[in-house]
Amino acid sequence: MKAEILKKLRSENGYVSGEELSRHLGVSRTAVWKNIKALRQEGYVIDSVTNKGYRLIESPDRLDPRIISSGLNTSNVGKRIVTMDKVDSTNDEVKRRAAQGEESGLIIAAENQTGGKGRFGRTWSSPEGGIYFTILLRPDLPPNAIPSVTLAAGYGVCLAVREYTGLDARIKWPNDIVIGRRKLCGILTEMAAQSDMLDYVAIGIGINVNHTGFPEEIRNKATSLYIETGKKTDRNDFFKCVIKNLDNTISSFLVGFSSEDMENFKRLCVTIGRQVTVHRPDGNILGTAYDITPTGELLIRTEEDSELTVNSGEVTVQGIY
Ligand code: BTN
């Protein structure tokens, strides 16, 4: 019932009377009052004025699955949303739950991660104010299709940031989201498969949202929505937008990206047309990225004028962190 009350208070600009709430929810006014009290204890600031009713003044800055999933009607991503105060890593939590048979579509999000993981064995610093989450999917795909699912996820986050903030967010192939020269979001995908049968994929996404600054060592490489827009973002609202876009791009990918999606992805990809370095164990290769294949590999023309197809590994782009 608390979710219903919040929904109603959010949808009204002014006060909503206790009578209207009790009629709308089909419960007694005492039940309304008890739930308002419980919401206040959760940190919601709700004004109440005699003869006028209740008005929502401020919501706590906490991810709340009731708000995030309200009105969210997705096909694949976020069928069930669980938020946690603290966890080692949302990827690890999803992997544990997947091993116990959890269904496709789950999202685990956390306010803090004590062991946030990045790509290439790096750590992902996860202070409060970010959105750290992992999506569990069980798509009917071979394991070698997983890098492309990750591309679809990066594309979804990029579209959400553009839609919600109007910022010129771009994709740094394969799936970092950048604003200008700095990184806003990283994605770490892990999977479990038996021979060529995929069991599940865990797509872990970290977005810097209300971070007001970063430690010295990453200050020049990282950015946040707060730094870019100068104002705090309502994380629940933004997260809903992110999930909606992820569901669109991942669902499109699962039935096969349209040529329009592919062209749009390339248009948003900062890597294309830039000088890049491919870091390989046997040495670096320099070249210019010029296209992305329908299966998501990066095409590079090397300095020696040969063509290189890159499907994983680290590619650095000149001018971007
Ligand atoms: C990278 O750019 O190196 C990938 C970073 C991925 C971070 C996210 S935060 C949520 C999820 N849980 C983790 O431990 N990692 C991913």
Specify the residue with its C-alpha closest to ligand 1, atom 11: 204
Q: Does the structure show a pLDDT above 90 at 241?
A: yes
- Tens of pLDDT, residues 291-302: 999 889 999 999
Pick the CATH number of 65-268 from 3.30.930.10, 1.20.1600.10, 3.40.640.10, 1.10.10.10: 3.30.930.10
Q: Does the structure show a pLDDT above 80 at 318?
A: yes
| Phi then psi dihedrals of residue 59, to 5 deg | -105, 150
Q: Please list every protein residue whose CB sits less than 6 Å from any atom of ligand 1.
A: 89-91, 113, 116-119, 122, 124, 132-134, 176, 186-188, 204-206
Mutate to test the pocket of ligand 1, among 63, 86, 87, 91 (most ligand atoms within 8 A of CB): 91
Q: How many Å lie between the centroid of ligand 1 and the Cα of residue 154?
A: 12
Q: Does the structure show a pLDDT above 80 at 153?
A: yes
Please report, rounded to a whole number, the percentage of residues in the chain having pLDDT higher than 70.
100
- Tens of pLDDT, residues 55-102: 999 888 999 998 899 889 999 999 999 999 999 999 999 999 999 999
Provide the 3-class DSSP secondary structure of residue 183: strand
**Helix ranges, 44-186 (H):** 65-69, 90-99, 146-165
Q: How confident is the model at residue 196 (pLDDT cuts 50, 70, 90)?
A: confident
Specify the residue with its C-alpha closest to ligand 1, atom 7: 206
For residue 125, give the nearest of 186, 76, 36 by alpha carbon: 186
Q: How many Å lie between the centroid of ligand 1 and the Cα of residue 77?
A: 18
Q: How many Å lie between the centroid of ligand 1 and the Cα of residue 134?
A: 8
Residue labelled with tokens 């989201």: 177
Atom of ligand 1 nearest to the CA of 117: 14
| Phi then psi dihedrals of residue 228, to 5 deg | -80, -35
What is the average pLDDT across 227-237?
A: 96
Q: How confident is the model at residue 180 (pLDDT cuts 50, 70, 90)?
A: very high
Provide the 3-class DSSP secondary structure of residue 10: helix
Cβ atoms within 10 A of the Cβ of 97, count? 18
Q: Does the structure show a pLDDT above 80 at 313?
A: no
| Phi then psi dihedrals of residue 103, to 5 deg | -80, 160
Per-residue model confidence (pLDDT) at position 319: 85
| Phi then psi dihedrals of residue 209, to 5 deg | -105, -75
Q: How many Å lie between the centroid of ligand 1 and the Cα of residue 96?
A: 16
- Tens of pLDDT, residues 244-281: 999 999 999 999 888 999 999 999 999 999 999 999 88
Atom of ligand 1 nearest to the CA of 110: 10
| Average pLDDT score over the chain | 94
Q: How many Å lie between the centroid of ligand 1 and the Cα of residue 126?
A: 9
Question: Can you state the angle between helices 146-165 and 235-255, rounded to 10 degrees?
Answer: 140
Domain range list for the chain: 2-58, 65-268, 275-317
Does domain 2-58 match CATH 1.10.10.10? yes
Q: How many Å lie between the centroid of ligand 1 and the Cα of residue 13?
A: 37
Atom of ligand 1 nearest to the CA of 89: 14
Per-residue model confidence (pLDDT) at position 20: 95
Per-residue model confidence (pLDDT) at position 59: 86
The CA radius of gyration of the chain, in Å to the nearest whole number, is: 22
Per-residue model confidence (pLDDT) at position 195: 82
Q: Report which secondary-structure segment, H or E, holds 81.
A: strand 80-87
What is the average pLDDT across 196-209?
A: 96
Per-residue model confidence (pLDDT) at position 11: 87
Token pair belonging to 39: 């919401």
Mutate to test the pocket of ligand 1, among 205, 209, 317 (most ligand atoms within 8 A of CB): 205
- C-alpha to C-alpha distance for 40 and 22, rounded to whole angstroms: 18
Q: If 0-12 CB within 10 Å is exposed, 13-18 middle and 19+ buried, where does residue 161 land?
A: buried
- C-alpha to C-alpha distance for 184 and 117, rounded to whole angstroms: 16
Q: Does the structure show a pLDDT above 90 at 208?
A: yes
Per DSSP, 13 falls in state S
Atom of ligand 1 nearest to the CA of 91: 12
Per DSSP, 318 falls in state T
Q: How many Å lie between the centroid of ligand 1 and the Cα of residue 74?
A: 23
Q: How many Å lie between the centroid of ligand 1 and the Cα of residue 45?
A: 33
Per-residue model confidence (pLDDT) at position 76: 97
Per-residue model confidence (pLDDT) at position 245: 98
- Tens of pLDDT, residues 7-33: 899 888 899 999 999 999 999 999 999
Does domain 275-317 match CATH 2.40.50.140? no
Q: How many Å lie between the centroid of ligand 1 and the Cα of residue 141?
A: 23
Please report, rounded to a whole number, the percentage of residues in the chain having pLDDT higher than 90.
84
